[in-house]
Amino acid sequence: MRITFDKTELVRGNSYCEEAKDLKIKGSKEIQISTPLRANFVSVFDRGNLKTVVTFNTTRKHNDKNESELYALKHAANVSTKHGSVLFDLEDCDKTLFCLSNASIKHIESTSYGVLSTHAYEIIGSKFENIK
C-alpha cells in the first residue's frame, strides 16, 4: 500500500519494500439521545459531524545513519503542518484508491535507529471513501 498526504509520500509502497503496519481506521459521528419523560423508548438523532481517525506506522531504510537522522527530523517537521487529503493506494491490479478528506496529522512520532527510521502517525479527517 502506498499512502500519500498532500503530495508527501508517508509510505512508498511495494517498490520500496515499505508497508503500513498496524493500520487502524476508526469512524465516529455525533449522536444526540433524547430521553423524554414517561416515554417507553429514547429518541436517537444522527447529527452527522463525521470524524475519521487513521493510525499506522512504517519503517524506511536509508543509506546511512546520518541520512536516517536527517530524514526523521525533516519529515516530522514537514508533515506536522500539512492539511489536505490522504490517499491510500492499494497498488493492486484494479488500482483501488481510498481518500480521507480534510485531514491533519494530530500526532507523529519519528525515530532513527541506525540506517532505519520509523514513523507512527495519527491522522484525523472527515469523510473516508473509496474513490476508485
Residues 6+ apart with CB under 8 A from 27: 50, 51, 52, 53, 128
E strand residue ranges, 1-132: 2-5, 8-11, 21-34, 43-61, 83-89, 97-113, 116-125, 128-130
Distances (CA, A) of 96 to 60, 126, 131: 23, 20, 8
CATH class as words, domain 2-130: mainly beta
Long-range contacts of 87-92 (CB under 8 A, 24+ apart): 87/2, 87/3, 87/4, 87/5, 88/1, 88/2, 88/3, 89/1, 89/2, 89/3, 89/4, 89/13, 90/1, 91/1, 91/2, 91/13, 91/14
**Could you tell me the three cell numbers for 12?**
512508498
Q: State the residue for C-alpha cell 514513523.
A: 119
Single pTM value for the model: 0.88
pLDDT value of residue 94: 78
CA–CA dist 108, 123 (Å, integer): 9
Per-residue pLDDT of 51-74, as tens digits, reads 999 999 999 999 999 999 999 999
pLDDT value of residue 25: 97
- More confident call, 46 vs 95: 46
pLDDT value of residue 95: 80
Per-residue pLDDT of 76-129, as tens digits, reads 999 999 999 999 999 877 788 999 999 999 999 999 999 999 999 999 999 999
**What are the φ/ψ torsions at residue 67 (nearest 5 degrees)?**
-65, -40
